[in-house]
Amino acid sequence: MRHGLDQADDAALVRAALAGDEQAYRHLMVRHRQAVYRVAWAQTGQADAALDVTQETFIAAFAALARYDPKRPMRWWLGRIALNKGRDWRRRQAVRRFWLGWRATGDDRGGEELAAQVPDPAPGPEQEAGARAELVRTADAIAGLPAPLREAIVLHGVEGMAQRDIAALLGLSEKAVETRVYRARKRLAQVLGEED
């Protein structure tokens, strides 16, 4: 039975998990954790926060597993939960900044400085340092987008989801998704100083 879980589809893993098979939960997490982490990282822009959001996503998903509709892809369902957990994280950060007087104290550190404090486990040449700085800059620009634009560009550009799939996930028309992706790209180009 254990070997069979490796080849089981998501619906079969959900059934096994709901029947009490702990390994089925593990298989679901291993199968989808990278996709969930990418959505979480694009929402938070911070490695540690993305890990926390990923963990919160799986905790919430497994607690609500009985409500999963096996007719829809597990990746979509988890992606939606990750987007919501990312929103929650952003709200908590805003509240913390307010209560700690982040702006009032003159602490104007941005995401780039904070992200630079996260150690990189793989040492690399100077080109990698430049690439990391550009990645942080891009992540900050994505994080600065309004939530509807950020979600559309994360799902399309980071997760590689088709616009029709994003429309189904977010409950929008394909045209609305197309417009959001276009506007997000345009804003990112402006912020990053690139040509349209």
DSSP string, 46-93: -HHHHHHHHHHHHHHHHHTGGG--TTS-HHHHHHHHHHHHHHHHHHHH
41-57 pLDDT tens trace: 888 888 889 999 999 99
Query: How far is 165 from 1, CA to CA, in rounded Å?
Result: 33
Q: How far is CA 182 from the centre of its chain?
A: 19
How high is the pLDDT of residue 121? 46
Which of the four pLDDT bands, split at 50, 70 and 90, describes residue 122? very low
Question: What does DSSP assign to residue 159?
Answer: S
Q: How far apart are CA 118 and CA 104, in angstroms?
A: 25
pLDDT at 193: 81
The per-residue pLDDT for range 126-174, each reduced to its tens digit, is 555 655 677 777 778 888 888 888 888 888 887 778 888 888 888 889 9
Write out the DSSP string of 119-158.
Answer: PPSS---HHHHHHHHHHHHHHHHHHTS-HHHHHHHIIIII
Q: Counting runs of H as helices and runs of E as strands, what totals does the chain give?
A: 10, 0
Q: What residue ranges do the domains of the chain occupy?
A: 1-108
As a whole number, the mean pLDDT across the chain is 79
The answer to whether 16 and 28 have CB atoms below 8 angstroms apart is no
Of residues 154 and 36, more confidence is placed in 36
Q: Is there a contact between 167 and 176 (Cβ–Cβ < 8 Å)?
A: yes
In this prediction, residues 25-46 reach a mean pLDDT of 89
The pLDDT of residue 123: 44
Least confident of 29-38, 50-59, 93-102, 145-154: 93-102
Domain spanning 1-108, CATH class: mainly alpha
The rounded distance, in Å, linking the Cα atoms of 154 and 151 is 5
